[in-house]
Every structure is written in structure tokens, then in C-alpha cells.
Amino acid sequence: MQKVLMLEGKFVDKIWGGERLKEEFAYDIESDSVGEYWAVSAMEEFPSLIINGELAGEDLIEVYKNNRELFGNPKEETFPLLVKIIDAKEDLSIQVHPDDQMGKRLENSLGKTECWYILNDNESSIIYGLNAKDKDEAVKLINERKWKDVLKEVPAKNGDFFFVPAGTVHAIKKGCLILEIQQSSDITYRLYDYDRKDKDGNLRDLHIEKSIEAIKLNDIDNKTETSVDGDLRLTKLTDNEFFQVRKYEIKGNKSLNRDSDYLIEAVIDGAGELNVDGEKYQIKKGDFFILTNLVSTYEFAGDLTIVESNVVNNK
């Protein structure tokens, strides 16, 4: 069976999208309003395609369902993670996602805990949490529409990392380019949208009651841990109940051991080579692939920055 799954995702137009995915990743895109690249997805709306080997042409939904051994025979019935690149030419709405319990109860869906690795070199910012001592104060300020008082805005530039657990009020602001790793869910509650109107002159739908129910004032620690081992600089970004994420900066060669059932790889800069059991794959910025359970060791060579993620095994 196939050891490496090279992936091709889907581009999604958004009213706030732009052209940076085409400009900075050299993707073949005709649209000038792409907001998201669903790079690693087994969601029904935009599933990724396998583009190499015997499974070429199948989507990740099929492969995960029919080849469970490639993923360590997981207990999850659906592929649990979703990886995107987001290009915000304009501000996104102020929003919040439900946790697993609320998502199951109201939407028959997973909740949505996510994280952001910031790719833009330009100065930008995000909304990241609330200025309130407790939820009662937060709800009071929201009901009074005191957005400038209640929303916490922080800078966001290349190399910054933000863990966004379910219940955290957040928004990606104009100028951000972000690698997003999240639970496999597309449930979003829109709390505020700057009173913007769509092309038909209508205000976009808000989900005030669900948003307020979902809100949590999470105490978040975004401290990362970096170590250097020869040609590898490793930064551990997050280790939470849903997924682990780390960044590899490689200048030369580095052999690694697979220590999870399968690994999701995102090449965010540079170019080089992946070597698995003597089979070589040319990889470059913008490539995404999965190292399956059949891989024991793997080697990266070149000048590469890779963000690697895996689901946390709860067997």
C-alpha cells in the first residue's frame, strides 16, 4: 500500500479573499478573490484529492474510509483534522466556534478548536479574546455593542503562533496570511460583522444567541519551545487535547521517526526533497502531504520550513 499521500486541495472564494495565494504560493488560480485553500480536507464540501501513486484520483474521504490501516486503524469515523491557508484581503467577521458538546447538540458536528501560524511579513493584527473579567461582563459589553471596549486586538506577523480553543472570540484582520490547523468542522457563529452589507445591500446573518452560549474566556498559553539538532531547528507550537503541531526549519538533511499514527505535512517555505525508504519526492512551498502509518522513518533534505501536525491518539 501507499506510504505517502500527496494532496491537492480546493480553493474557496470569499467576499474578503484576495490574490496572495496565487502570488506567494504560485498556485494556478484564476480568481482574484480566493480566501481559503482547503489543503488537507476530508470535508464533504471541499475534499482533497490524492495526486500520486495507486490512490491517485481518489479523495481523502474515500481513502480514509476504505484504507483505515494507512491511518493506524483510528477510532474516529471521519478524518479529524482540516488544514487551510487563509488570505484576508479584508477583515473577517468577529466569530466564535462551539466546543464538541455544543457542536454535537446543536449541529451534529464536531466542535472547532483551531490554531494559526502567521505567514504574512507585513504588519497585521487579529482579534484574540475579550477584555472582560468574566463572561457576565463580556455579555453585557456585547449587548451594549461596545465592540472597541470588549474586543482584544493583538499584532500578528510572520512566525507568530496562536492557539484558538473553542469558545474563544476571534477574527482574522485585513492583511493576514495564515496557516490554520483545526478540528474537522465548519461550524462558525458570527457575533459581529462591522454592519457590513453584501453585494445586494443586505446585512450578513449573525448568530448572537449561539455565539453568547459558545463564548468562553479561555486562559491561553502560547509559549513555544525551540531546540536545535544539527541541520534541524524544531519549534513545538502546541500540544493540546485534539492535535499537536510543530515547525521544522531544515538546512541540510534530517532523518525523523514517525511517532504518531500518521503525520500531516505543510511546506510553508523553501524547496527540497522527502525521502521515504529510498523513494524520493520533490517538495516545495505550498505542498501538502500525509505520511501514513506505513512510514517508519522519513528524511527531509534542502532548505525547508515545514509545519507538521497530528491528531492526538485517544485509543
**Catalytic machinery residues:** 190
Cα 76 vs. chain centroid, distance in angstroms?
A: 19
Q: What span, in angstroms and rounded, lies between the C-alpha atoms of 220 and 165?
A: 8
Distance, CA of 86 to CA of 224 (rounded, Å): 22
Q: How many CA atoms lie within 13 A of 247 on its CB side?
A: 21
Listed residue (121, 110, 134) closest to 219, CA to CA: 134
Q: Supply the DSSP symbol for 83.
A: E
Buried/exposed 70-100: b ≥16 CB within 10 Å, e otherwise: bbbebeeeebbbbbbbbbbbbbbbbbbbbbb
